Amino acid sequence: MEIVKNIGRSEVWRYLHGNTKFWTSITIVLAVVILGVIGPYLTKYSPNTPAGAPMTPPSFKHPFGTDYFGYDVFSEVVYGIRVSLSVGLIAALIATLIGVILGMIAGLRGGIVDAIIDTLINIFLSIPPILIMILLAVYIGKRGILEMGLIIGILSWQWTARAVRAQVSALRTSDFIASSYLSGNSYIKVLFKDVLPNIASYMFLSFVIQLSTAILTVVTLEFFGLGASEWSLGAIIQYSVLWGGIPLGLWWWFLFPGIIIVALIASLYILVISLEEVFNPRLRRW
Amino acid sequence: MGFYTYIAKRIGLYTIVFFTALALAWSIPRFLGNPIAIIIARLGPSQAGAALAASYFMQAFGLNKPLHVQFLYFLKGLLHGDLGISVWLLGKPVSSIVYKGVIFDLILMTPAIIVSWYIGNIVGALAARYRNLDRILLPIFYILTATPYFLLAMLLQWGLTVRYKIFPTVIKTTVFEQLLYHPNLTVLLQFLRAWFLPFLSLVIVSIGGWASGMRSLMIYELESNYSRYMEMLGFSEKRISSYAFRYAIHPQITGLGIQLGTLITGAIAVEYIFNYPGLGFYMFNAIINNDPFLLQGTILVMILMVIFANFLVDIIEAIIDPRIRLGVVR
């Protein structure tokens, strides 16, 4: 048993070792996270007070330039990363949790429970979730990091639930589940001891997928002016539109936060496909 | 299960979806917030007047009635095409705004979906087949999918109207009215100039999604047992790919309905940035100008459009998929 485990581990390691997709994407993701964590210590300007002459292009003093009001865009961005990432993380955690639990229950139980959950999944696949998120965010009153994470999380679980349900449904009729029931294990025990380990790798993948789509949703809501804070990546870009950043040609105002958003989300996507290749040897081709 | 049972089942599902959407769009503003307070806040600071106006609006909108009566009023209004009035556009009925918005949205989004779907599937399948091409294309696909619609729209606007003045910066809003009521060739050409950039931003971003999806589906098919078997029998790679393509295209057709949902939300920001008067343009303005009825109306109509598109895709799928058409499975 120990030997089998070790072979498995070294094979994964050997596969990851030469995988440029994996290493490039994880480096970019970590770089953005680190910028968000230590960024505020790298800049001497506060995002809440004008830091210099307005509308100056990037320079050594202001690496991302200054905006229409003279605020340092770099400071805005590093504080913005913190806000947008936190909301995305909370949303992804909630969505994965709800999705996995509902999907497992539907897949293992079958029958009427499955029918109800399946209808629920289909309803939320047919209504564009972001429209309901907009309504909730407009009327919720206080829009904090936690609230925004919750709004996005409770409306994004359907993708995970559908995939988990399909995987668990396939497991339901298999022999090892039947023998687990026969040896006297309760439904809950089968769920956690037999089903969960089988979907663990997918659960992790699903979390990364949820994180990438959650961040895309977060910045979109922020761009609509429905974000958790003024210093979020989407909000900075919204301000640049509302205050004429485009006709004035202040490209640094929206381009730098934009590049960080795109780099982060694209890296998360590529991380997912490189991990898929690790978990599913069939997809490995080059 | 035959073709008609399948269609009947989908109609059943979409009826449930429709009423869930209605219930959400009706209950969220009522239980979480207070639309009247938003309208009053816009009127002015007078305290005494505010109380009077509040009680007037409570009566006018029937908000002092029991909840189930309110919901019935809401449904009745909907059936008469009454979506309330817009505060931002000074009392204009929401239904007339939304009506024009839907027309301009259809003109913008139908070609955008078709073009991006077509190009995306072909490019994605090519990337799956040729490994060298894949190395270049894969990062491009993922960068495109990761780009928020509003960001690409801003880059295009900055690049093509400000930096290089290829497209007009300011578009006369009368062009859109004229196109509906007095169309002629010059108006059409002017309209196309205003239409092209929002169209382009929607197409470019969605190509990434279609192509990366197609690439994964094709790789999955090309690595499956039947492809391996064909390879052993000595079929050409081209032949194997063409069989795999037929399998892989199926989930992409299913995805069309869902993609409209993402495109319609992507268009909210794009239409605002380019001042293109579709539904999204009005919704964005409803959000930043605190206009409760316009927001509710645009959201409801967008949901309706998505449900309808999903149903259309289901019918197309039922026709082209022999498993559904002949009632073999499902």
Token reading at A105 = 């229950």
Chain B residues touching residue A268 (CB < 8 angstroms): 146
* A180 sits in which H/E element: helix A175-182
Question: For residue A66, what are the β-bridge partners?
Answer: A72
Whether A63 is in a domain gets the answer yes
| Closest residue by Cα to residue A149 from A138, A161, A133, A164 | A133
Domains in chain A: how many in total? 1
Q: What is the mean pLDDT of residues A110-126?
A: 91
Task: Return the amino acid letter for A106.
Answer: A
Q: What is the mean pLDDT of residues A259-276?
A: 92
Whether A141 is in a domain gets the answer yes
Whether A25 is in a domain gets the answer yes
For residue A30, give Cα distances in angstroms to A33, A36, A105, B29, B267.
5, 10, 34, 39, 31
| Closest residue by Cα to residue B266 from B302, B297, B296 | B302
pLDDT surpassing 80 at residue B44: no
Q: CA-to-CA distance for A115 and A102, rounded, in angstroms?
A: 12
How confident is the prediction for chain B on average, in pLDDT? 85
Q: CA-to-CA distance for A183 and B139, rounded, in angstroms?
A: 50
Q: Which residue of A has its CA nearest to B19?
A: A123
Instruction: Tell me the residue range of the domain where A250 lies.
Output: 19-283
Count other Cβ atoms within 10 Å, centred on residue B11. Answer: 11
Considering only residues B133 and B35, tell me which one the structure prediction assigns the higher pLDDT. Answer: B133
Most B CBs within 10 A among A22, A134, A250, hence the mutation to make, goes to A134
Q: CA-to-CA distance for A269 and A213, rounded, in angstroms?
A: 9
pLDDT at A121: 94
Token reading at A162 = 């559908």
- In this prediction the ipTM stands at 0.89
Whether A10 is in a domain gets the answer no
pLDDT (tens digit, 9 = 90+) per residue, A125-169?
A: 888 999 999 999 998 878 899 999 999 999 999 999 999 999 998
pLDDT at A286: 47
Q: CA-to-CA distance for B50 and B63, rounded, in angstroms?
A: 16
Whether A59 is in a domain gets the answer yes
pLDDT (tens digit, 9 = 90+) per residue, B55-90?
A: 777 776 666 777 778 788 888 888 877 777 787 777
CB nearest to B219's CB, from A220, A242, A283: A283
How confident is the prediction for chain A on average, in pLDDT? 88
Whether A55 is in a domain gets the answer yes
| Closest residue by Cα to residue A25 from A276, A280, A286, A279 | A276
CB nearest to A266's CB, from B33, B142, B155: B142
pLDDT at B62: 67
Tell me the DSSP string of A108-170: HH-HHHHHHHHHHHHHHHHS-HHHHHHHHHHHSS---HHHHHHHHHTTSTHHHHHHHHHHHHH
Q: SS3 for A46? A: coil
List the CATH code of the domain at B3-32+83-325. Answer: 1.10.3720.10
- pLDDT-derived band at B35, boundaries 50, 70, 90: low
pLDDT at B330: 46
Q: CA-to-CA distance for B210 and B199, rounded, in angstroms?
A: 16
pLDDT surpassing 60 at residue B250: yes
User: What CATH number did the domain enclosing A62 receive?
Assistant: 1.10.3720.10
Spell out the domain ranges in chain B: 3-32+83-325
pLDDT (tens digit, 9 = 90+) per residue, B217-242?
A: 998 898 889 999 999 999 998 899 89
- pLDDT-derived band at B46, boundaries 50, 70, 90: low
| Closest residue by Cα to residue A72 from A60, A85, A86, A84 | A60
pLDDT at B288: 87
Instruction: Tell me how close the Cα of A283 comes to any Cα of chain B, in angstroms.
Output: 7
pLDDT (tens digit, 9 = 90+) per residue, A208-254?
A: 999 999 999 999 999 999 988 778 999 999 999 999 888 888 999 99
Task: Return the amino acid letter for A73.
Answer: V
CB nearest to B143's CB, from A131, A223, A266: A266
Q: CA-to-CA distance for B299 and B310, rounded, in angstroms?
A: 17
C-alpha count within 13 angstroms, C-beta hemisphere, residue A60: 0
